[in-house]
A and B are shown apart, each in its own frame.
Chain A
Amino acid sequence: MKGNFIDNLPKVYGIYTGGFIGFIIIMAIAEQMGMTAKAIGIAFVAFTVFIYALIGWLSRTAQADAYYVAGRQVPTVFNGMATAADWMSGASFVAMAGGIYFKGYGYMALLVGWTGGYVLVASLLAPYLRKFGCYTVPDFIGTRYGGNLARFSAVVVLTVASFTYVTAQINATGTIASVALDIPFQYAVYVGLISILLCSMLGGMRGVTWTQVAQYIVLIIAYLLPVFWISNKMGAGFFPHFMLADEVARIGELEQQFGFVKNAAADLKSVPKGLAGITKAHSAVNATPWAFISLALAMMMGTASLPHVMMRYFTTPSVKAARKSVGWSLFFIFLLYSSAPMLATLSKLSLIDPNLPTGIIGKTFAEVEAIDWYQNWNQANLMFISDFNGNGTLELNEFFMGGKAVVLATPEIAGLPYVISGLVAAGGMAAAMSTADGLILAIANAISHDVYYKIIDPKAETAKRLLVARVLLVVIGFAGATIAAMEIQGILGSVIWAFDFAMSGLFFPLVLGVWWKRANRQGAIAGMLGGLAAGTWYLVWVRTGGSGFLGITQLTFGIFGSAVSLVLMVVVSLMTTEPDKATQKMVDDVRVPSGKTILGKSH
């Protein structure tokens, strides 16, 4: 191919997309010719992971600015795709539709929160941090406020938030690898980890960028294809997003008809852990305004504080491109997020509507237990039925399912060929891997650049710095995998906590660093450490039986943490001396897009 790689990007990824679609078709033909479901699953995961590893190897580099910020030459649209993959984790891909399925409106606050946050990213932070020219988020804090303590505090907040997040992602890659490759979870976690490290170790941010673009393409095809296919197969409409109003209304009707019968506590004990029944209305407003708004607000502010997202905008060629790139990121995220409620609707209706051939409510237990897919998913511990009232027919309150089953099982329930299930597994793997890569890199870069190079050994040569960065990458990856293998927390809960930790410690120190010239070092340190401590205290308090206040729950503790952070930062800043002239000049320079970056090309 002629010309440099960047100019050829549309062609390269065009060929890649075509190749992937070709692979899906070949697998579909192979299935018809008798290839087993297990072999198809293995082929999908192995083939895609091999491609990512290849991209990772081709992107290897020995230069600091390529390793940390992909050489700052990632075009707007491609950075948008990479950010979307970075952003949409295993939780978005596998768990989100399930959450909507079970909890309806109250849960959909996450959809609003995880998209609305990008408005804050675009208007408050991304373009200014790009102008700053930093390699990492603590790099900005350390230079803007000055001093090693400020820099170190930012590294602490970043590590707490990102590490909470990354264990969940490694857990998700492990779950998918263990199902697709049919190996025990304890080993599958490490298979997942090695796949993750193959993408990031040699090329750093450059490798991660180009694998994330590839992963986005896989995950979006894997999510949208089944949604459209199922919708068409059920006769619900060829473009589900605009045509499911009747289905949504029909679910409401059925809910009225069946009613939400409350199960006795003794009956619920027999239900396997992690499975839930339908107990909340699908489209009706089932949460108070504050419950909805507080969750959305926490997720929005968290979005704007998460370093692995912010650092993606350090890779664009210009400030202008950074702004546009945020728009593209959200557009690519929108494609998946607006489909999740549609998938939840289709999945729920196909299971509960007695008029549909797939509906199981109202059938006898013997009938349901004879269905192939019920047996499969019951064995996988994701579906369960029990005749609580002893009448022999399945009622709405007697059917239980795992959240993951909405994405994983619906294609099979709707009668799609197995090749789609293989594709979904590859998509889930791509989603979890891309987020894990972004997070591990964010932590390793912060420690190698901000702690090792800026604080411990400022004279280190590039080769030594990058070696330290890579060693840290492996160490952090293994630490994450070890904790993931212990299976302490659920995927979704820890993801939400990560947002709360990040906003508690970083939101105001970042925003005020640009928008309030008077903010100084003492204020920022108080804001970061005080906010993080306050948020953590609130979480522990509520978890250990505290009653909480103002309706702030363990999922929204960041609202309390960030409020404390804001107050501390303003009060302490005003009580101490204002920043010196040089710092004020620096803030002025950050506010205009033209001119040189604050930090040099390599620093």
Chain B
Amino acid sequence: MSNQQKHWEKTRSLLFITLAIWFVFSIGIFLFGAEMNEVTGPFGYPWTYWFTCQGSLGAFVILIFWFANRQEKIDEEFGFSEREDE
């Protein structure tokens, strides 16, 4: 397998992991919205309410930065990162 194929394979696995985490915070937890809202969560808000106000939103911000860093590492590993002068 060529260097480029390996790079793409790793990039694709990272995509699947990222989308899996995205799925949990955007869709997964809201399947159980009613049940989860009975329990008190962070700062004393009900769990589901907190996720819709802050939790999921914050998770997305962190997820994107985490994804960007991982992807940069993958690009470096295979020598595909951009040179500064490009």
Contact of A292 among B11, B30, B45, B86 (CB under 8 A): B30
Chain B, residue nearest A297 (CB): B27
Q: Which residues of B contact A297 (CB under 8 A)?
A: 26-27
Contact between A119 and B64, CB atoms less than 8 A apart: yes
Of the listed stretches A107-115, A227-235, A358-366, A457-465, chain B binds: A107-115
Interface of chain A residues 309 through 359 with chain B (CB within 8 A): 318-320, 323-324, 326-327, 330-331, 334, 337-338, 341-342
Judge whether A549 is part of the interface by a CB distance below 8 angstroms.
Answer: no
Contact between A593 and B22, CB atoms less than 8 A apart: no
Contact of A324 among B46, B57, B65 (CB under 8 A): B65
Interface of B is mostly: helix
Known: A112-B57, A116-B60, A593-B80. A122 touches B26 (CB 8 A): no
Distance between Cα atoms of A594 and B63 in the complex (Å):
24
Q: Which residues of B contact A592 (CB under 8 A)?
A: 4, 7, 75, 80
Chain B 15-44: CB-based contact to A (< 8 A → 1; otherwise 0): 100110010011100111110010000011
Contact of B57 among A289, A337, A588 (CB under 8 A): A337
17 contacts between A and B (CB under 8 A): A108-B53, A118-B64, A119-B64, A123-B14, A123-B15, A242-B43, A244-B45, A284-B37, A285-B34, A289-B30, A293-B27, A296-B27, A297-B27, A320-B82, A334-B60, A342-B53, A591-B4
Contact of B58 among A243, A334, A588 (CB under 8 A): A334
Contact between A116 and B26, CB atoms less than 8 A apart: yes
Contact between B26 and A243, CB atoms less than 8 A apart: no
Contact between A115 and B57, CB atoms less than 8 A apart: yes
Chain A, residue nearest B43 (CB): A242
Interface size class of A (residues with CB under 8 A): 35 or more
Binding site for B on A (CB under 8 A): 105, 108-109, 111-113, 115-116, 118-120, 122-124, 127, 241-246, 248-249, 283-285, 289, 292-293, 296-297, 300, 318-320, 323-324, 326-327, 330-331, 334, 337-338, 341-342, 588, 591-596
Contact between B43 and A285, CB atoms less than 8 A apart: no
Q: Which residues of B contact A115 (CB under 8 A)?
A: 56-57, 60-61
Interface size class of B (residues with CB under 8 A): 35 or more
Distance between Cα atoms of A592 and B8 in the complex (Å):
8
Chain A, residue nearest B44 (CB): A245
Q: Which residues of A contact B26 (CB under 8 A)?
A: 112-113, 116, 119, 296-297, 300
Q: Which residues of A contact B75 (CB under 8 A)?
A: 320, 592-594
How many whole Å from B73's CB to the nearest CB in chain A? 11
Contact between A122 and B37, CB atoms less than 8 A apart: no
Contact between B80 and A111, CB atoms less than 8 A apart: no
Most B-side CB within 10 Å, residue of A320, A592, A596 = A592
How many whole Å from B38's CB to the nearest CB in chain A? 9
Contact between B82 and A594, CB atoms less than 8 A apart: yes
Contact between B8 and A591, CB atoms less than 8 A apart: yes
Q: Which residues of A contact B14 (CB under 8 A)?
A: 123
